[in-house]
Structure 1
């Protein structure tokens, strides 16, 4: 099973939003960014995209150097938040993943996030040991999740898998790579219709166990 991270395993907003406001506060203090902090909806509605594309939507009229500074600050504040035990997994995620691992199912993550963030969340939540691979666009410099998932499948010799996620990029990555797509219908970040092409949808993460029994 290949899992997206944000909006699938991790309640992103519980860590992201404090770091988001701290990032803009710092950039305004430095003079790097001038004006009001963009609304939270701007970044929450962009989750699932590559970070560079997120900033293009959140701050479309600033220099690229501001985007890169935002990268640095956001990651730093998120790592500090994780170290302070901020940020929450969705209900049932830890127990369900442990149950899947106990059944001998190979577990992977494929995320469009930065390498430090993806690995940091799994490490601080104590889940790294049960995953065979933690793949991120930040580490492999991939331009789409389709390519990232294909790289993962090729490197690990995976011939059959489920792609589990909450955004259209997850659905596309699964279908384009010939995988069964499980759409997570509980995060609320997606736009209407993003999960229409998923093979099945789940209302809570633990529903995956029932799907396996079927």
Structure 2
């Protein structure tokens, strides 16, 4: 954690979901392999499943951008089917108990909520996926709202966060996330960015431009306590 920076206490915190609150690979990797098994069975894909690392490296992107990187030569029909399957299989596995939050997420969110901080999610994921994670893992009650690109059809996380800030009239927020899209969304909307360095899905420059960094989710509460 960056101990040298002095931050202003926020009225709200906006969280990315995958790689920030939710340990995505605990759900995604088994789903990913089943998805490609089905695509092959249905004639939408030939050859081996693309490497896990390729998919994990795309986390935080919008779905069309993910498939353009993972299966760039696939037909539009194949990519649309991959969209359907990803949501279907993820929801099935979530309801069956797959997937975990990062250590300390529940306790930290509950404490921040109890202190009057408004909490939001802004994710490039699908609406039902984001809401299902929050509901199943018992954190939905602490959030003022859950925003997803899937629900609002935003072209970027910058747009999604602007929508959130405008609707809830938030002037001073911390954008908390693990990808460059989170850094950009916070910075371009004039907000403080807290870079989460524990997921490891991106490259070493992924969080460049963050105002502070945390290596464990519980360090967020320490940053809040130190803020003025």
TM bracket, shorter-chain basis: over 0.9
Which runs of structure 2 are paired with 1:89-100 in the superposition (5 Å)? 89-100=101-112
1:160 to 172, 187, 204: 172
Picking from 114, 128, 140, the partner of 1:116 is: 128
Q: Deviations over 1:61-118 (max 9, x none)?
A: 0111111100111111110111111001000001100111111110000000011111
DSSP 3-state at the match of 2:46: coil
1:134 maps to 146
CA RMSD of aligned residues (A): 0.7
3-state SS of 2:118 partner: coil
| Residue of structure 2 aligned with 1:66, choices 63, 78, 82 | 78
Query: How many angstroms does 1:194 deviate by?
Result: 1.5
Q: Which moves more between the two structures, 120-129 or 181-190?
A: 120-129
Normalising to structure 1: TM-score of the pair?
Answer: 0.98
Cα deviation, residue 24, structure 1 = 0.6
Deviations 1:164-214 (A, max 9, x none): 000100000000001110000100001121112100000100001111111
* Count, aligned residues: 214
Segments of 4+ in structure 1 off by > 6 A? none
Structure 2 spans left out of the alignment, 5+ residues: 1-12
State TM-score, norm by structure 2. 0.92
For 2:80 and 2:135, the matched residues in 1 are separated by 25
Match for 1:57 among 48, 69, 74? 69
Match of residue 188, structure 2, among 158, 176, 190: 176
